[in-house]
Amino acid sequence: MSFAVFVAWLLVLLGAAAEGSSPGPLSYACHRAAGPIRIDGRLGDPAWKTAEWTSDFVDIEGAGKPKPRFRTRAKMLWDDQYLYIAAELEEPDVKATLTQHDSVIFHDNDFEVFLKPLPETASYYEFEMNALNTGWDLFLPKPYRFGGQPDNSWDIAGLHTAVAVQGTLNRSSDTDQGWTLEIAYPWRAFDLRQPVPQPRAGTIWRINFSRVEWKAGQPREDNWVWSPQGVINMHVPEQWGYLRFVGGM
């Protein structure tokens, strides 16, 4: 074996080892809801007690970055009508200002859902909400880096969302615990842009969550996510986690 061939082979081995050592996208087993869920933001329905929390959110670039200042986690369920998402956001000073639907919600502290129900296509859906329960929904035919343009005219028909603040909203003179939220996506909402088969046990979608958090005196926002992106860019769907639909508990 020539020296050049040896070096080339060594580089391949090293590259494979490095690739194998980096964690891949996370996965979540989404069970069928054991009972009805009332969308009030409080997460008190018995069905939620059987749903596992995701791991705590980390910096968007990965575990090598500083640990987020506040804890964030989510959980999911599904039934014949909806995909349910709940989230818990630790926050000592809950704030929100935007009240107009389809505002650029990440100008406030927010919670974001990125959903790709057709993993084999380039398209995906995004939804953002703040602690005032103001939402922004949009459809992306493909990622921005491939020339995709956001379609803000898409609205999630039949969407239900709610927020509960554990403290007092927009009052910095006291200390809050945070805020919780619930989202119910109706399966039919996606059909306004493309036909999406209703999932069943065994179906796999791609999903990720992001939390944007602003800090006084810091020019850029913090981005905390469930499944790390590796870059400061949520619009890299191949890095999103796997949403695995399974049967009841």
Among 17-21, 24-28, 74-78, the minimum mean pLDDT is found in: 17-21
**What would the two tokens of residue 239 be?**
């890095």
Residue 180: which domain range?
Answer: 25-245
Averaged pLDDT score across all residues of the chain = 90
In a domain, 57, yes or no: yes
d(CA 70, CA 18): 31
User: Which pLDDT tens digit goes with each residue over 44-68?
Assistant: 999 999 999 999 999 999 988 999 9
- Sole residue written with tokens 């039919």: 188
- Helix, strand, or coil (residue 48): helix
**What would the two tokens of residue 46 be?**
């018995």
In a domain, 19, yes or no: no
Beta bridge partners of 245: 30
* Residue of 100, 107, 14, 111 whose CA lies nearest to 54: 111
User: Which pLDDT tens digit goes with each residue over 132-181?
Assistant: 999 999 999 999 999 999 999 999 999 999 999 999 999 999 999 999 99
Higher pLDDT, 11 or 139: 139
What are the b/e assignments for 59-95, b being 16+ CB within 10 Å? bbebeeeeebebebbbbbbbbeebbbbbbbbbbebbb
CB-CB contact of 177 with 90 (8 Å): yes
Q: What are phi and psi of 159, to 5 degrees?
A: -65, 140
- Sole residue written with tokens 């998402």: 85
CATH for 210: 2.60.40.1190
In a domain, 16, yes or no: no
In a domain, 10, yes or no: no
pLDDT at 21 over 80: no
* Residue of 227, 223, 220 whose CA lies nearest to 205: 227
Amino acid, res. 179: W
Number of domain units in the chain: 1
pLDDT at 63: 81
Residues 6+ apart with CB under 8 A from 8: none
pTM assigned to the model: 0.89
pLDDT at 249: 65
Q: What are phi and psi of 82, to 5 degrees?
A: -140, 155
**What would the two tokens of residue 52 be?**
């596992």
User: Which pLDDT tens digit goes with each residue over 207-235?
Assistant: 999 999 999 889 899 999 999 999 999 99
In a domain, 5, yes or no: no
